[in-house]
Amino acid sequence: MATKGTKRVDAVDSRAASVLVRAKDGSAFARCAECKKDVPVALIDMHSCSLEAKIKMNLDAQVVEQAAEVKKPERKKPKSKEPSAKRAKVGKEKKIKDPNMPKRPPTAFFVFMDDFRKTFKEANPDSKDVKRVGKEAGEKWRAMTDEEKKPYLDRVVELKAEYEKAMETYNAAENDQEASDEKSDKEAPATGEMEELTDEE
């Protein structure tokens, strides 16, 4: 079988000049008779160089640019490479916890856990697996009836009452301290004014 060679065929448009100009990449251009510009042959049907067409194209371009300016959204800030959890922490200031504030009372399960740990260590002195202790304590707690849980619930009520009393004394001490701080702030300028009067005399 013989290979057929491809021949370049020059396209001629009846509206364009009879001579085509070729670019380095092989695309064909025809010269417009009205504006004397080289126009790609594929786009010659869309080329209109009359004065009315130019005015219309300019107006259309202005309308499109104005619409684009109105709809142009604000540029978003680029996301940082840090994970979102770290970025969230940076913005918030951590509340400083007062070391003198009383601790909240444990729940009934945690009171039960204190007793269960002691009995579990006595039964299994070699076991140091915290996960196993927690798992077995949870299973036992779920298996217990309300009657068996009652001593732990009663202990929680006592601990809660103690906590509430401790919070009352803590809040009273805080309020007294704030009141004394406010008084000292008010008194400080008064002593400063007295010193100024003595300096002037």
In a domain, 59, yes or no: yes
In a domain, 50, yes or no: yes
Domain span including residue 172: 108-179
Same domain, 175 and 113: yes
Q: What angle do CA 23, 29, 33 make, to 5 degrees?
A: 140
In a domain, 53, yes or no: yes
**What pLDDT, in 10s, does the model give residues 57-105?**
566 656 555 555 555 566 666 566 655 555 555 556 778 888 888 899 9
**What pLDDT, in 10s, does the model give residues 97-137?**
888 888 999 999 999 999 999 998 898 888 888 898 899 99
Of the three residues 41, 63, 85, the one that is the final residue of a domain is 63
CA distance 154 to 160: 10
pLDDT of residue 78: 59
pLDDT of residue 166: 93
In a domain, 33, yes or no: yes
Q: Is the pLDDT of residue 21 over 70?
A: yes
Number of domains within the chain: 2
**What pLDDT, in 10s, does the model give residues 3-19?**
666 655 555 444 444 46
Q: How many CB atoms lie within 10 A of CB 30?
A: 23
The first and second tokens of residue 175, run together, are: 């309020």
In a domain, 43, yes or no: yes
**What pLDDT, in 10s, does the model give residues 31-45?**
777 777 787 877 777
Of the three residues 63, 92, 120, the one that is the final residue of a domain is 63
Contacts of 107 (CB under 8 A, 6+ apart): 156
The first and second tokens of residue 35, run together, are: 């504006």
CB 30 within 8 A of CB 44: yes
CA distance 201 to 123: 85
